[in-house]
Amino acid sequence: MTLNKQQRAMRKLPLALVFSAAIITSSISTSLYAADEGVIAKVGNEVITKQEFEIAKENMGRQFQQVPAEQRDALILNTYVDIRALAQKAKAADLDKSDEFKTKLEFSKNQLLYQIYFENEIFTKITDEDLMADYKKQIAELPEKEEVHARHILVKTEDEAKAIIKELDGDADFVELAKAKSTGPSGKAGGDLGYFQQGQMVPEFEVATFALKKGEYTKEPVQTQYGFHIIKLEDRRQVEAPKFEAMKEQLRQEKMRDVYTKTLETIKDDIKVEIVAEEFKEKKAEEVKADDKETKKAK
């Protein structure tokens, strides 16, 4: 018996992946879209529709990303056909009437309703205008930050550094001296370190750099764990705020969390929620105490 490409691809998948994909939902192959009236496959007396395929792709697609795109839909279809075939056997054995099935079905229904409500009432109602308003508010609250553009020459001894400072005092070119004498990795680039903010360099280096005026260099060697530095300040400027597009997804996540929390609070005000099991009541009390301690620490 020879295996086709889809079957070979299926055999390469971990069994757990196939099962987990199967449990989630369904899927269909684009190559079968020519089937009449949206029916793209038949399993016994049951049909699989294009609509099921779209739902399945949404739910199962990520789990089959390792499969080449041209084979993915057919593979998901084959998986779903297997699911439907086994499901028919399960129904024939009255497994759909078991308490286990009914309990799991109820859980799945509630989970699905939760997901649909979240998408319809929270996710889709967050607009770009909402995100832009949050962006402007956050940008306005950002403290002003300064960054500097510096070069340096790094040598092993203080005497070497002092000798280089004397050359600079005699109008030697900083860039050329860095290329010729710096032992640091930036030496080949004339000691160029680009722009950096406070907190990005070792303290001794940072303090000396930010104390300089544009065009100045340190008149005394600056010692750090790496050796002795002569630093020149090329420029200083205010840090630009991040662009809206760069923050958009982060803003969306923050907005979703905020709207989700407020929505739940409103719903729980209307619906009576009671924890009945004593062990969970105790756990909840412990969590509240822990939260109180953290709050007091923060104050």
Among the candidates 52, 70, 93, a domain finishes at 93
Residue 286 is predicted with a pLDDT of: 55
For residues 150 and 230, membership in a common domain is answered with yes
Residue 70 is predicted with a pLDDT of: 87
The residue type at 291 = D
For residues 246 and 134, membership in a common domain is answered with yes
Domain membership flag for residue 282: no
Domain membership flag for residue 287: no
Question: Which distant-in-sequence residues (6+ apart) come within 8 Å of 41 by Cβ?
Answer: 28, 29, 32, 35, 47, 48, 77, 81
Domain membership flag for residue 37: yes
Domain membership flag for residue 253: yes
pTM value surpassing 0.95: no
For residues 84 and 111, membership in a common domain is answered with no
- Give pLDDT tens digits for 26-36: 333 333 334 44
Domain membership flag for residue 122: yes
Residue 31 is predicted with a pLDDT of: 36
pLDDT of 113 > 70? The answer is: yes
Domain count of the fold of the chain: 3
pLDDT of 185 > 50? The answer is: yes
For residues 176 and 38, membership in a common domain is answered with no
- Can you state the percent helix, strand and coil of the chain, rounding each to 5? 60, 15, 25
62 or 200, which is more confident: 200
Give mean pLDDT, residues 178-191: 96
Give mean pLDDT, residues 78-88: 91
The parent domain of residue 43 ranges over 5-93
Q: What is the overall mean pLDDT for the chain?
A: 84
Percent with pLDDT over 90 in the chain: 59
